[in-house]
Homo-oligomer: A and B are copies of this chain.
């Protein structure tokens, strides 16, 4: 009886999100252990089977660092910014497309989902170009720095994703882009996830990370914002309450919402089944951001 009730509590959400697309950014910091990877995969498969179309974009920071160390590759910096040279890009691709992507595909497959691992180069999903980056020099002048093979999105080609979604596959995308000449670039996974959510006119963009959401005081869980509007979010950025790695997430959220995504969620992947709890319960467990 209790079981039936819980299943039925999910019904309105299942109905509301029927056939809708959820873009899920699965961050490297949330892949803490085998259990966490299992429950996230299981949640994704459940979403699929109740009629929601998940599209996964993954990160992989910690693994990349480990691999670089192992390969004896020293990080380079210009003006304090990390540079991605050719060799670094190779390692990034190997870790993202060759390791993490495959692990996620394996896990989803294990729980009965039909996953397809894709680099953003495939079908030119992520058409990219070299990212222009300017910093201020000592004289306060804007000067361009060359960060190497760091890219930014030019266009998301949705054709291949549409085909896969319509055939009930779950795309799992590495944030590697390609330009017209076939050159590869490394992109920020949060930003790419926002771009993809916007291009696919997704219902939701869900960022799975290792914090509970946006908090007034990151050390006090009681200061978690349950719900924010874009206006409020921008205010929090301006007033520097949001800082560091949360900045690209907040910007991806704003970008996605402005392109028509209905809601963006930031949740803590270390909480078991955070994804299901956020989607299928009234109260949720993280921060939800909506247009207004």
Contacts and interface: CB of A to CB of B under 8 A. Distances in A.
B107 A18 contact: no
Contact of A45 (B11, B93, B117, B176): B11
A277 B3 contact: yes
B160 A116 contact: yes
Contacts of A160: 114, 116, 167, 169
A247 interface: no
Interface residues of A, number: 70
Interface of A: 1-12, 14-15, 18, 42-43, 45-46, 49-51, 70-72, 90, 93-99, 101-102, 105-107, 109-112, 114-119, 121-124, 159-160, 163-164, 167, 169, 176, 178, 181-184, 272-273, 276-277, 280-281
A118 B114 CA distance: 13
A55 B18 CA distance: 20
Given A114-B123, A121-B109, A102 B46 contact: no
A1 B277 contact: yes
B109 A182 contact: yes
Please classify the interface of chain A as helix (H, G, I), strand (E, B), loop, or mixed, using the class held by over half of its residues.
helix
Contacts of A8: 42-43, 46, 273, 276
A156 to B, nearest CB: 15
A46 B4 CA distance: 10
Nearest to A116: B122
A124 B119 contact: no
19 contacts: A3-B6, A4-B272, A4-B277, A7-B7, A7-B276, A7-B280, A8-B46, A11-B45, A14-B49, A14-B50, A50-B51, A51-B51, A70-B71, A93-B98, A106-B184, A114-B160, A116-B118, A116-B123, A118-B122
Contacts of A3: 6, 9, 276-277, 280-281
Contacts of A115: 122-123
Contacts of A280: 3, 7
Nearest to A17: B49
A7 B6 contact: yes
Given A117-B121, A280-B3, A102 B93 contact: yes
Nearest to A181: B110
B182 A110 contact: yes
A25 B255 CA distance: 42
Contacts of A169: 123, 160
